């Protein structure tokens, strides 16, 4: 009978009381000095898709299922989950701790139920509550509670979140877990220290080098550091403890920004625009899924946003790895370091994501692979940037050597061109000397003046100038020589009259002799001869005066002291230049002078006159070359004084220039003239002369609206 009652009572206990205590579960036993980790197989799971189950219903619900993994992985879902397990305190102390290593969880409700199914403790935490509401100050949700020794309690956890819900649980005595928490904080502190050092180091490098790669890199480091700090819960604790919206959405925002900043850094660092222009453009397509993910989270669908971010992150990481490898195959050395660094980080990202999908086991290593990989990546990329600087330094040295070689070749070419130009000048000068022997002395002076005008290495248009001056001088000289013969005849007739008076014979009939003289005077028309002599002498004087004016202008233009700085009147230099080019003026042409009251300017007069000659000659040639000529073409020359500077404007009504031509006019050997009509050195020499005088030359031009050159010179040389 006793056996019968014993068996009966055992059946009653199993049927009614055992389900309340165990429900088929194992009990989590807490022992002194031990920490119970990842006890997912001792946990029962209830899914609440409609968010309607409260704690009382959760206690009595019969739809719990047993978990078969050490770490519960609830996936990415909008449902609410209830986790239930039994716990028994067999340690020497009553104070225990329960940690859920998911710092970014949105909601976590913690319930302790005693054997009578009474809730004796309830605590809520998560990102949807301000940080100050946490009873235990730690970024990772940590619940501190007391349980009587040797008694069994039921623990209920209500969980809801938008991201991957992996629930790694740890329980133990407070003293043991506090040591573990401190160690975790130290490890993350080391990580943040590495990130901070790399950020400051590369910030100084960016300030020093102005290399955009460093700017993109420090932005990337900052975002990566914030992302990892958010994953570990420290961003919520220290940066936005009262902003629950940001604490909930930061994981989505920072993950997206981290990926996009990595893409932009890779573009800049690997020069994908140059090496792989097509693939460079396709990288921008990744902005779209991240934008969709962020919009989804902003409109409340956190699960969809997280799934898009996870899939896009893996795709982008692999795509970037392929691009880096292709750039490396093209011989770009920094790509090798980028490949190594990105492979390490990619390993961390993939491990973290594969952990979320239960492909890899959840443990301390897989959980920390992303921060570990990002720290190592940051260090390796810093080495890559340093190597890139060395590469650029080497390329710069090679380019400087090449530039020096090209400069020497150009110098040799200019010397050769100058020799040829000088030969042509000498030949043309010789021809002019042979063509008019009467102007030998004048041409000799002119040659000396011309040689002062020409910079021994650049004055390509001296032959044309000489021909024009010769033409100017030839006109008054011809006028003089044409008057000499008539003057000789008139003087002979006067001499004959004088001789007749001197030969009067006093012993003969004077009246007859005087009558003969008067008859001769009437025959030669003595009054006319006198007037003609005056006219001829006046013409000869005018010719000599014009010749002297031309010679004086030429000497003033050439200035034998051109290599010495002197204070000169620039208005006088402009007038002298106009005299020398007067013969080149077209028929329908007018010069307008707007001279200001200028102080004398310290300069090399010959060089400045050479500038005036080049600009005025170019203006006249431009006007002559117009396809359609206006009724009257005009060259306007203006001068004025501003502060300690003088300005000279030479403006023509020529055809003007396009913007493309304007950008090249000061380049040596650039010319828009036909072959044989110019060497392209004139404006190059003008630019250098003005530059040597510490001045400035500006060009205002528009097609079919003429051109204006504005020269700015300091009054005194610096």
Distance CA 529, CA 154 (A): 148
CA dihedral 584, 587, 593, 599 (to 10 degrees): 10
Residue 185 in this model has a pLDDT that exceeds 60: yes
Residue 669 in this model has a pLDDT that exceeds 60: yes
CA dihedral 259, 260, 266, 272 (to 10 degrees): 130
pTM for this prediction: 0.51
CA angle (121, 123, 129) in 5-degree steps? 170
> Which tops the pLDDT comparison, 481 or 607?
607
DSSP string, 609-635: HHHHHHHHHHHHHHHHT-SS--SSEEE
| CB-CB neighbours of 183 under 10 Å | 10
CATH of 562-718, one of 3.40.50.1100, 3.30.565.10, 3.40.50.720, 3.40.50.300: 3.30.565.10
Domain extent listing, the chain: 19-177, 210-388, 436-558, 562-718
Is residue 261 classed as helix, strand or coil in its secondary structure?
helix
Give tens-digit pLDDT for 22-51: 344 489 999 888 888 888 899 999 999 888
| CB-CB neighbours of 193 under 10 Å | 11
Is residue 114 classed as helix, strand or coil in its secondary structure?
coil
| CB-CB neighbours of 10 under 10 Å | 11
Residue 87 near residue 155, CB atoms below 8 Å: yes
Residue 615 in this model has a pLDDT that exceeds 60: yes
Give the least confident one: 239-253, 491-505, 558-572, 652-666. Answer: 558-572
Give tens-digit pLDDT for 240-289: 999 989 988 898 899 899 889 989 988 988 889 989 999 989 999 999 99
The β-bridge relationship of strands 601-603 and 633-642 is unpaired
Exposed (0-12), middle (13-18) or buried (19+): which is 613, by Cβ within 10 Å? buried
Task: Give 679's pLDDT tier (boundaries 50, 70, 90).
Answer: low
Q: What is the pLDDT of residue 286?
A: 92
Give tens-digit pLDDT for 459-498: 544 555 565 566 566 666 665 666 676 767 767 777 877 8
What is the CATH code of the structural domain delimited by 19-177?
2.60.40.2380
Q: Would you say how long the chain is, in residues?
A: 718
Residue 659 in this model has a pLDDT that exceeds 80: yes
Contacts of 556 (CB under 8 A, 6+ apart): 572, 573, 576, 609
Q: What is the DSSP letter of 144?
A: E
Residue 80 in this model has a pLDDT that exceeds 50: yes
Residue 639 in this model has a pLDDT that exceeds 90: yes
Residue 139 near residue 103, CB atoms below 8 Å: yes
């Amino acid at each position: 009978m006793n056996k019968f009652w014993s068996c009966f009572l055992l059946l009653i206990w199993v049927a009614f009381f055992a389900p309340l205590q165990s429900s088929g579960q194992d009990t989590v036993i807490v022992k002194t000095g031990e920490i119970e980790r990842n006890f997912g197989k001792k946990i029962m799971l209830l899914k609440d898709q409609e968010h309607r189950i409260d704690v009382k219903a959760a206690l009595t619900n019969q739809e719990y299922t047993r978990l078969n993994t050490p770490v519960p992985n609830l996936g990415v879902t909008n449902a609410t989950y209830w986790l239930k397990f039994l716990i028994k305190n067999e340690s020497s102390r009553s104070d225990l701790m329960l940690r859920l290593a998911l710092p970014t969880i949105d909601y976590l409700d913690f319930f302790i139920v005693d054997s009578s199914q009474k809730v004796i403790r309830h605590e809520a935490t998560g990102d949807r509550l301000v940080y100050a509401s946490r009873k235990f100050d730690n970024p990772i949700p940590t619940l501190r509670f007391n349980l009587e020794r040797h008694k069994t309690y039921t623990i209920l956890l209500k969980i809801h979140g938008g991201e991957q819900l992996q629930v790694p649980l740890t329980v133990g005595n407070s003293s043991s877990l506090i040591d573990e928490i401190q160690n975790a904080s130290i490890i993350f502190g080391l990580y943040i220290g590495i990130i901070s050092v790399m950020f400051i180091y590369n910030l100084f490098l960016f300030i020093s080098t102005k290399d955009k790669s460093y700017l993109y890199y420090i932005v990337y480091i900052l975002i990566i550091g914030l992302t990892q700090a958010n994953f570990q819960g420290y961003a919520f604790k220290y940066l936005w403890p009262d902003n629950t919206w940001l604490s909930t959405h930061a994981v989505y925002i920072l993950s997206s920004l981290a990926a996009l900043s990595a893409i932009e850094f890779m573009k800049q660092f690997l020069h994908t625009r140059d090496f792989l222009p097509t693939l460079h453009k396709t990288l921008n397509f990744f902005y779209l899924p991240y934008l969709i993910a962020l919009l989804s989270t902003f409109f409340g669908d956190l699960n969809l946003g997280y799934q898009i971010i996870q899939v896009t992150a893996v795709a982008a990481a692999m795509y970037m790895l392929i691009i880096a490898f292709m750039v490396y195959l093209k011989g770009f050395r920094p790509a090798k370091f980028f490949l190594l660094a990105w492979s390490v980080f990619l390993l961390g990202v993939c491990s973290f994501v594969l952990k979320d999908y239960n492909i890899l086991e959840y443990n301390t290593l897989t959980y920390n692979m992303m921060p570990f990989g990002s720290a190592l990546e940051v260090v390796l990329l810093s080495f890559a940037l340093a190597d890139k600087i060395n590469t650029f330094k080497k390329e710069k040295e090679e380019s400087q050597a090449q530039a020096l070689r090209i400069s020497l070749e150009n110098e040799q070419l200019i010397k050769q061109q100058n020799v040829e130009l000088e030969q042509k000048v000498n030949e043309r000068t010789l021809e002019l000397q042979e063509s008019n022997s009467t102007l030998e002395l004048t041409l000799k002076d002119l040659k000396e003046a011309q040689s002062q005008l020409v910079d021994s290495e650049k004055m390509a248009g001296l032959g044309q100038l000489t021909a024009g001056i010769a033409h100017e001088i030839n006109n008054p000289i011809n006028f003089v020589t044409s008057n000499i013969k008539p003057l000789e005849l008139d003087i002979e007739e006067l001499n004959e009259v004088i001789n007749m008076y001197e030969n009067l014979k006093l012993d003969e009939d004077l009246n007859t002799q005087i009558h003969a003289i008067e008859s001769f005077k009437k025959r030669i028309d003595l009054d006319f001869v006198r007037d003609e002599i005056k006219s001829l002498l006046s013409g000869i004087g005018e010719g000599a005066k014009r010749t002297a004016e031309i010679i004086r202008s030429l000497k003033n233009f050439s200035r034998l002291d051109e290599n010495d700085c002197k204070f000169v009147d620039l208005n006088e230099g402009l007038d002298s230049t106009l005299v020398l080019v007067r013969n080149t003026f077209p028929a329908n042409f007018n010069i307008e002078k707007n001279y200001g009251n200028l102080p004398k300017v310290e300069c090399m007069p010959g060089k400045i006159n050479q500038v005036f000659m080049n600009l005025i000659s170019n203006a006249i040639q431009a006007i002559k070359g117009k396809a359609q000529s206006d009724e009257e073409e005009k060259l306007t020359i203006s001068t004025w004084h501003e502060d300690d500077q003088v300005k000279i404007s030479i403006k023509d009504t020529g055809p003007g220039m396009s913007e493309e031509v304007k950008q090249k006019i000061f380049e040596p050997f650039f010319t828009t003239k036909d072959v044989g009509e110019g060497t392209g050195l004139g404006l190059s020499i003008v630019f250098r002369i003005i530059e040597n005088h510490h001045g400035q030359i500006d060009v205002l031009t528009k097609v079919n609206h003429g051109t204006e050159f504005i020269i700015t010179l300091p009054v005194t040389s610096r």
